[in-house]
Amino acid sequence: MGFDWFTLVAQLVNFVLLLVLLRVFLYRPVLGVMQQREERLAATWAEAERARAEARAEAERLAADRAALEAERRARVDRIEGEMQRLRDQRLAEVEAELEADRARRLASLERARQRAVERLRHRSAELLLAELRASLTDLADAELEERVTAVFARRLAALEPERLEQLRAAAKAHAPVVTTAFPASAEQRERLAALLRDTLGGERPPRFESDERLLFGVELTVGALRVAASGRQRVAALEVAFDEALSELASLAAGGAHGA
């Protein structure tokens, strides 16, 4: 096994030549391409990073917008809910007021109806009572009663106050006295009444006699606009006035009690 120096030098030259050739045909183009691709990747990466940053910024902006919209929506919802609550409360108050007013109206109506019913009942009771009284007085009316009532009429006429009596006398001068009885007066009764009127009012104008069964019993003297009565109608009328006053007083007391309740 020898050692050839020429071959050694030739191999060195061959190696250097191979190095140069590979540098030209292998390393330089491959490294160049890798460099270009790395630069392109770096550019792409930078672009991606920029896009990512833009996307992140956009996402943050959208998130902020969304938050603002959400806050606005919540504020609007709160405002609407508040408005709805206010309207509901207001409407509820109105309805309650209407109900209260309606209830008051109904109560008032009921009260009025009750009062009217009570009033009608009282009036009806009074009417029944008066009708019964009138019927009783009518049934009881007779000549004897007429005589006694005529006596009462004479006492009442005699008991008139002087002023009243003077007014009657003055009226009798202008108007003929009209004597109304429940039953057609008898001649005796007419004579006695005409004598009484002559004594009391003077005899300038003879009295005119009329009968009216609505008097129930008794006598009524009408001189112009003046009247002196001692009759069942006058008694019933006085009783009716008294009834009316009593019923009115009861009605006022009942109304006061209802309002107080």
Partner 1 sequence: MTLSPDELVYFRLGPFPISATLVFTWVVMLVLVVTSWALTRRLRTSGALPYGQHMLEGLVAFLLDEIEGVTQHDPRPYLPFVGTLFLFILTSNVLGVVPGFQQPTGSLTTTAALAIAVFLAVPVYAVGRVGLARYLQSYLEPTPLMLPFTLIGEVTRTLSLAVRLFGNVMSGSVIAAILLSIAPLFFPVVMQAFGLLIGVLQAYIFAVLAIVYIASAATVSDERLRKAGATAPTDTLAEGGDT
Q: Is 36 in the site for partner 1 (CB under 8 A)?
A: yes
Q: Determine the interface stretch with partner 1 among 24-32, 77-85, 222-230, 235-243 (rule: CB under 8 A).
A: 24-32
Q: Which is nearer to partner 1, 29 or 256 (CB)?
A: 29
Q: Does 21 bind partner 1 (CB under 8 A)?
A: yes
**In the range 84-113, which residues lie near partner 1 by CB under 8 A?**
none
| Nearest to 126, CA basis, from 39, 259, 239, 4 | 239
When asked if residue 12 is in the footprint of partner 1 (CB under 8 A), the reply is yes
Q: How many residues bind partner 1 (CB under 8 A)?
A: 34
Decide: is 45 part of the binding site for partner 1 (CB under 8 A). no
> Does the protein bind partner 1 through residue 238 (CB under 8 A)?
no
CB of 15 to partner 1, least distance (A): 5
Q: Rule CB under 8 A: is residue 30 a binding residue for partner 1?
A: yes
Q: How far is the CB of 38 from partner 1 (least distance, A)?
A: 10
Instruction: Work out how close the CB of 74 gets to partner 1 at its nearest, in angstroms, rounded to a whole number.
Output: 51
The single residue among 16, 57, 238, 255 that binds partner 1, judged by CB under 8 A, is 16
- Nearest residue (CB) to partner 1, 35 versus 85: 35
Nearer Cβ to partner 1 (21/87)? 21
| Residue from 40, 50, 79, 227 in contact with partner 1 (CB under 8 A) | 40
Nearest residue (CB) to partner 1, 3 versus 225: 3
Return d(Cα 134, Cα 215) in angstroms, integer: 10
User: Which three-class secondary structure string do you get for the chain?
Assistant: CCCCHHHHHHHHHHHHHHHHHHHHHHHHHHHHHHHHHHHHHHHHHHHHHHHHHHHHHHHHHHHHHHHHHHHHHHHHHHHHHHHHHHHHHHHHHHHHHHHHHHHHHHHHHHHHHHHHHHHHHHHHHHHHHHHHHHHHHHHHCCHHHHHHHHHHHHHHHHCCCHHHHHHHHHHHHHCCCEEEECCCCCHHHHHHHHHHHHHHHCCCCCCEEEECHHHCCEEEEEECCEEEEEEHHHHHHHHHHHHHHHHHHHHHHHHHHHHHC
Q: Does 26 participate in binding partner 1 (rule CB under 8 A)?
A: yes
Interior angle at CA 243, CA 235 and CA 216, nearest 5: 25
Binding flag, residue 23, partner 1 (CB under 8 A): yes
Q: Interface with partner 1 by CB under 8 A: which residues?
A: 1-4, 6-12, 14-19, 21-23, 25-37, 40
